[in-house]
Structure 1
């Protein structure tokens, strides 16, 4: 009887562990790279819309840890600020070169006048700091 309970418990733990693994690795709730980031930037600037650019790569642990924060802030500010997610391993490489990105994650803030504000920012950033910088664009 005790052996049967132990086996059932092990099987239940394996099922739960597998479900958690699948959810974590599914990218649920994560953001995708912006297609044609240079074009999106040009359109946003022409419309005099503030822009937030995050340069990232999926291989970067700090970039991956920032995804939930950026996702949440995009939901909150995406109607007022153009969010451009530039994958430096893909379509965002040209934009990264244009902005002389040396480290990822890196962040660029452009106000509605097309001026870069906030300086060179890179690395993990708290939600509060990132949100404060986004609010300054408005």
Structure 2
């Protein structure tokens, strides 16, 4: 005895369902991959530092300079890296972007001279290398850009001193490179220096 089974559209429906699942899976994989790609910053601090203008070149080329004191471990520096890369791309032909790693002892004289006590620390220098402003900690891209525009134009920087979130940083013992203060030096706080 043979059972008479009705024709079932099930095999075709299963194929169609499987095809739709496969298409949705491919679309989701592509969307996910593109999402990861846009969230991953290509601006790493070491790569940016390697591509930055060397300090000695910046001090000789008659262009204004934005000097950033940073460290690879500095989370504030890392968060700002994509914005700094964008600013360099836009203004790099008119402004030197110099990056000095505070963990490198060779920059100790600059750390002392620019009084770096938190990072990121930004120093703005005119084309004649005269410091005109500084900013400490994370800065909004808009603030940095407005200052860069003014720096390029030789104008007073609109936000000459700014303080944002910093990464903890204690400058190394700089007594070897710091000159002794004199009684009329404001850092002496009235003390007499014996030499």
Change (3 A) 1:24 1:34: same
Taking only aligned residues, the RMSD between alpha carbons, in angstroms, comes to 3.5
Are 2:85 and 1:85 aligned? Answer: no
Aligned to 1:106: 121
CA offset at residue 102 of structure 1? 0.5
Query: TM-score normalized by structure 1?
Result: 0.70
Give the structure with the larger strand fraction. Answer: 1
Bigger RCO (CA 8 Å, 6+ sep): 1
Is the CA contact (8 Å cut-off) linking 1:86 and 1:93 kept in structure 2? no
Is the CA contact (8 Å cut-off) linking 1:52 and 1:81 kept in structure 2? yes
Question: Structure 2 matches for 1:1-138, cutoff 5 A?
Answer: 27=42, 31-34=47-50, 40-89=54-103, 91=104, 94=107, 96-98=110-112, 99-119=114-134, 121-138=135-152
Mapped to 1, the partners of 2:116 and 2:49 lie a distance apart of 17
Change (3 A) 1:25 1:36: closer
**Structure 1 runs not aligned, ≥5 long:** 1-12
Count of residue pairs the alignment pairs up: 134
Deviates more, 1:19-28 or 1:95-104: 19-28
